[in-house]
Amino acid sequence: MPRRHDPGRRQRIIDAAIRVVGRAGIAGLSHRTVAAEADVPLGSTTYHFATLDDLLVAALRQANEGFAEVLAAHPALADPAADLPAALARVLGEWLAGDRTGVELEYELYLAALRRPALRPVAAEWADGVTALLSRRVDPVTGRALVALLDGICLQVLLTGAPYDEEYARDVLARVLGT
């Protein structure tokens, strides 16, 4: 029997893993649940991703693209005259106002690195990448502080269910930036 050529299968498996985690959490993720969600044979998931950690790494890399892409596209990073605290607070608000499920999923995968060492380098890549984006306007130490603050604000909003307060975010970002 000839092997069926399916170049999009690996990506469909990653997308399915993200949907499974979004619906059932990381505890609900297995090769079997992902295969069923992707409508592929079970062997396909283990062929492309030998372990669940391998699959989670791929899913986290894809999920991490969300905020970084929104931030990278914002003109305030390239404009030294732009009000950076206001721009960052606005970008964060837009991101949190979007598909909350996607934001929650991104943080669930990100925080899974606490218990899954294989995910830690990917979580660090995300923080380093966002720090590099912010370092277009600030020094790297301040960039890391901004990443920590943005993460903290997001987590507070997600965990408490409180509405995002753009004015508060702008004020604390301005304090970190000394403006």
And the tokens for 47?
Answer: 């062929």
And the tokens for 150?
Answer: 């943005």
pLDDT, averaged in runs of 10, over the chain (179 residues): 71 94 90 96 94 91 79 84 94 85 81 89 89 92 96 94 95 94
Q: What is the CATH number of the domain that holds 73?
A: 1.10.357.10
Give the per-residue pLDDT at 2: 44
Give the per-residue pLDDT at 4: 66
Give the per-residue pLDDT at 67: 75
Single out the residue in 50, 67, 84 at which a domain terminates: 50
Give the per-residue pLDDT at 6: 80
Distance CA 13, CA 19 (A): 10
User: Cβ distance 149 to 173 under 8 Å?
Assistant: yes
Cα 82 to Cα 24, 76, 118, 170, distances in angstroms: 41, 5, 38, 13
Closest CA to 174 of 91, 90, 70, 83: 83
Structural domains counted in the chain:
2
Q: What is the CATH number of the domain that holds 18?
A: 1.10.10.60
Query: Same structural domain for residues 92 and 106?
Result: yes
pTM of the model: 0.82
Query: Domain span at residue 31?
Result: 1-50
